[in-house]
Structure 1
Amino acid sequence: MLLHTAAWVIIALLVPWEDSIVQIVGISLGMLALVGLPTILLAVLAGLGHRKMVPGRFRGALVAPMLVFIWPCLAASTAEPLVFELMVQLAFACYLMPVPLVPEKWVGHVQ
């Protein structure tokens, strides 16, 4: 959530939109509902389902399905929302996603 918020603060500062900061915050909350929450749900469900894969490989395999959720950014009038949401998704999948999700049930090799 903090990563998503930081990305949208940067987007609000970089993009010369005619919208007010209140409208940009509203857009960012909508994007959180469309992008952030489904990403977290996917990470939790995939983490509960896969218990045998090496964590690095699991993170790599989950990147592509997570990128599907950034489709609303394609409708933006500038490229910044798409670029920053892409970076947020990659950072979450590669560094922040907890793997293994339930260590007690993990039967794979943890690196």
Structure 2
Amino acid sequence: MLRRVGRCVLTYLLLYAGAWVAVALTADLEEGFGARMGLGVRLFPLVGVPALLVSVAVVTAHHRMHPVRLRFLLFVPLLLCLWPLVFADVAEPFQFLLLAHIAYAALIPAPLLPEDWAGDPADLPGWHPAGNRRI
């Protein structure tokens, strides 16, 4: 389980960092590259930590919902985590982090604990119907 949670956290951190690199390279702000990246670090407790907590809690708690539906519905609370960026002077931080959250919702392993899966086994990723086993 720790490996899967670590994968979730690492995936989010890489997407978050990539989004802020894109913001720092494209946003028309007076500050330099380092100051823009510093802004991303300062916003991480407001945007990143709630997104990580919500996403790990959701994929851990749901044992019956189809993984695609879960990922689609997970995007709504991830979108709400972007509220500090709605009122920004420039649109790039919101746009790039919105894309990062979409990518994260698509990449998160769902369900987080496949051994606790109570839904249809054919809905699990990696399920091989001919052999009735995970591949």
TM-score, normalised with respect to structure 1: 0.91
Instruction: Verify: 1:79 aligned to 2:91, yes or no.
Output: yes
Instruction: Verify: 1:90 aligned to 2:102, yes or no.
Output: yes
Q: Distance in 1 between matches of 2:54 and 2:103?
A: 15
Q: What is the letter of the counterpart of residue 115 of structure 2?
A: E
The 5 Å alignment of 1:17-36 reads 17-36=29-48
Q: CA deviation at 1:22?
A: 2.7
Instruction: Verify: 1:56 aligned to 2:68, yes or no.
Output: yes
> Larger % of helix: which?
1
Instruction: Verify: 1:108 aligned to 2:119, yes or no.
Output: yes
Aligned length: 110
Instruction: Verify: 1:99 aligned to 2:96, yes or no.
Output: no
Q: Distance in 1 between matches of 2:79 and 2:49?
A: 13
Q: CA deviation at 1:16?
A: 2.1
List alignment gaps of at least 5 residues for structure 1: none
Q: Percent identity?
A: 37
Q: What is the letter of the counterpart of residue 104 of structure 1?
A: E
Alignment partner, residue 4 of structure 1: 16
Q: Distance in 2 between matches of 1:80 and 1:25?
A: 13
3-state secondary structure, aligned to 2:19: helix
Post-superposition CA distance 1:20-56 (Å, at most 9, x none)? 3332122101222211221111111111211001100
Of residues 24, 28, 46, the one that matches 1:16 is 28
Q: Which has the higher contact order (CA 8 A, sep 6+)?
A: 1
Q: Distance in 1 between matches of 2:95 and 2:34?
A: 22
Deviation beyond 6 Å, 4+ runs, structure 1: none
Larger Cα-atom Rg: 2
Contact kept? 2:25, 2:33, Cα under 8 Å: no
Q: Distance in 2 between matches of 1:44 and 1:6?
A: 20
Post-superposition CA distance 1:63-103 (Å, at most 9, x none)? 11110000111121111111111111111112x21111011
Alignment RMSD: 1.2
3-state secondary structure, aligned to 2:30: coil
